[in-house]
Structure 1
Amino acid sequence: MHILFRALCSAAVIGLAGSSLSQVAQAQNEAEPEGILSVERFPQDKQMRRYRLYSPASVDKFNGSRPLVLVIHGGGSTDRGMLKLDKGQWNALAEKHGFYVAYPNAVDKIWDFGEGLTSEARGKRVDDLAYFSTVIDRISNEKNIDQQRIFATGISRGGQASYFLACNLTDRIRAIAPVAMSLPTFMTNECRSAFLDPSASGKKIGLAVMNGTADPQVPYKGGWITVFRKKRDIVMATEQTIAFWRKLSGCKNSGFDQTTVDQPGDKTSVTIKSWTQRCETAPVKLYTINNGGHTWPSGLQYLSPRIVGETSKDISAAGEAWSFFSQF
């Protein structure tokens, strides 16, 4: 929904999705040799779906099967928009560490989870669970993908998509890193069932959340997601999301590791809490971006801070997410 929701349209969507990708190309050129960014298409429900796949040139330097990271755009944006927002950082990381990056693309720029007010308001419904599953299948059939190291991250509604995949493709997704998004209340039952049902696989999903305390669209303390005074879906408070996931992951109630990052030159700082050593099955981590907005840390400031809030430069969302994923 909400980084570049429809209501933000023109300037934002043009800025992220329609303009030159020169910044992306420049970032990729810094990693030598340069890999291949391809556009892949396949038919689904009488329409063509697409995604972009970054295949690093360095992959042959690494032994065995390699990880796959799904980097998911927010509402109103596209796969191209996500590349622009991230400034090519995921592709540079893929070259350095030898993994594949997929950039999924939603129909009409909005993901359909089959539930929730935003999905129900769509004129044309889309089976995006089948879409994501097909994307993973296609890449796995073409590349040597480690099926135990498939990860998802995304911003805003792309962050919601990360939760959606964790709770509906539990046997495939190993960890997620949502940005500017807490757990939607309409997903709590399916997440609880996926992790606690005796018939489930029993595998837990690692979680790292990066949320801004001054996000004007997705409230850090929970409540209605609001875009230009229009209410969308309801999310848990950030701390409540973490508590919920910690319980599912068997984390101990006492103690956590905490650090603070505050680089000069921006108006934010980041408090990092980690339960990595205190969870029985999967680590949980929280990045509280103090005074951070509805933005991608170290990414493009796609709209004025007066509209979406500040973009933190204290951390890199891509760098921190990969650091978290690389534990697995």
Structure 2
Amino acid sequence: MRRLPAIVLLSLSLPGLPMHRARADEAALFPYQGVHRHYVLHAAPNRTGPAPLVIALHGLGESVEDLRRSWTFDDVADREGFDVVYPEALTGRWSYVDTRSVKLPDGQGVVDDFGFIGALLDKLLADHVADPMRVYAVGVSNGALMAWTLACSMSDRLAGLAALISGMVERQAEQCHPKHLVPLLVLAGTDDLVQDYDGGMGDNFRLMSVPETLEFWRRLRGCTGMSMRELPAHAPDDPTEAVRVDWTSCRDSSPQRFWRIEGGGHHLPSFFPLSEREKQQRHGGRSQAIETAEEVWAFFHALPTK
């Protein structure tokens, strides 16, 4: 088991992605715990009334704009007619479990990101921005760790959740008692050494392996079957392979899907190749077998409303 660094900076910029159309995004500050928290709301164009909402959580050391540049999710939202809200973590790190808490700026207490995200959702529902029956969450890397906390403690408010390129921390599993089982999409690269696919020990935490994380949720769901599909290579020079695993015969028909990226590193799969800068970061290879943003929304869109 590899030892994990206490802090790993994540950058997932994708130069060369299609330019987003000009739009009136709402960048705002939201007061919570005596701190003005930053978020961006990307509203689908030409919609009337509340729309499906995806809460998108960035990675460690990133900003809202870093995540927005890293994939094509806003373009998918424009085409499909849903909104995306991007909350921003204080100091670039989510306070997702008690043993990994972030201090408030005044040093008097710890950041309550679970409460912040819940309060922000309350505001968007009160403003009739979001459809309360179609609220979803997706997190990337450190944002996926925050998403796991939402799966455990906010399952009654979510119609679906995606955790990308990170398993759970053991402490999260110990404290996880969801009111119901939210439909779950997981994606991870088998060669990811940043949020290690095989798990590992940090200074005061243990990162569960991705298979261990999936088994934790399979047991909760009581799934007894599984189907598997391998995707053909999208690019001839792509050494990775994308395998889609779906668990079946689960209680309450709550789906659990896993995209296993064989040979993939700490990147979101995309049809766009790594830039030279990203190659120098040594986060491993990026699969070109699927476009992550498309697969996340396809999973959410196929789900029944909560």
Q: By the TM > 0.5 criterion, same fold?
A: yes
Aligned-residue offset at 1:28: 2.2
- What SS is found at the alignment partner of 1:258? strand
In structure 1, distance between residues paired with 2:243 and 2:84: 28
Matched, 1:80 2:65: yes
Aligned 1:155-194 pairs, distance under 5 A: 155-191=140-176, 193-194=177-178
In structure 1, distance between residues paired with 2:155 and 2:29: 25
**What amino acid is the match of 2:117?**
F
Aligned-residue offset at 1:97: 1.4
**What amino acid is the match of 1:256?**
S
Q: How many residues align?
A: 290
Aligned 1:191-210 pairs, distance under 5 A: 191=176, 193-194=177-178, 200=179, 203-210=180-187
Aligned-residue offset at 1:92: 1.1
**What amino acid is the match of 2:189?**
G
Aligned-residue offset at 1:243: 1.6
Matched, 1:258 2:222: no
> Which residue is 2:261 aligned to?
289
In structure 2, distance between residues paired with 1:165 and 1:40: 22
* Deviates most, 135-144 or 156-165: 135-144
In the alignment, which of 302, 309, 315 is matched to residue 290 of structure 2?
A: 315
> Which residue is 2:77 aligned to?
94
Mind listing any 5+ residue stretches in structure 1 that lack a counterpart?
195-199, 226-230
Aligned-residue offset at 1:144: 4.1
- What SS is found at the alignment partner of 1:81? helix
Describe the superposition over 1:143-201 as per-residue Cα deviations: whole angstroms up to 9, x where unpaired. 3422122111121110111111111112112221111101211111222x22xxxxx4x
Please, what TM-score do these two structures have when normalized by structure 1? 0.80
Matched, 1:240 2:212: yes
> Which residue is 2:29 aligned to?
41
**What amino acid is the match of 1:234?**
R
Aligned-residue offset at 1:129: 1.1
Matched, 1:272 2:254: no
Pair 6,280 (structure 1): closer, same or farther in 2 beyond 3 Å: closer
- What SS is found at the alignment partner of 1:293? coil
Aligned-residue offset at 1:122: 8.2
> Which residue is 1:103 aligned to?
86
Which structure shows the bigger proportion of residues in helix conformation?
1
8 Å contact from structure 2 (residues 43, 84) kept in 1? yes
Give the superposed CA RMSD. 2.6
Aligned-residue offset at 1:274: 0.9
In structure 1, distance between residues paired with 2:204 and 2:20: 36
8 Å contact from structure 1 (residues 258, 272) kept in 2? yes
Describe the superposition over 1:207-243 as per-residue Cα deviations: whole angstroms up to 9, x where unpaired. 1111011111122122236xxxxx5732222122112
8 Å contact from structure 1 (residues 42, 50) kept in 2? yes
8 Å contact from structure 1 (residues 58, 95) kept in 2? no
In structure 2, distance between residues paired with 1:47 and 1:284: 36
> Which residue is 1:56 aligned to?
44
Aligned-residue offset at 1:70: 1.1
Mind listing any 5+ residue stretches in structure 2 that lack a counterpart?
1-5
Please, what TM-score do these two structures have when normalized by structure 2? 0.85
**What amino acid is the match of 2:222?**
G
Describe the superposition over 1:105-146 as per-residue Cα deviations: whole angstroms up to 9, x where unpaired. 011111112413x32688842111111011211211223422
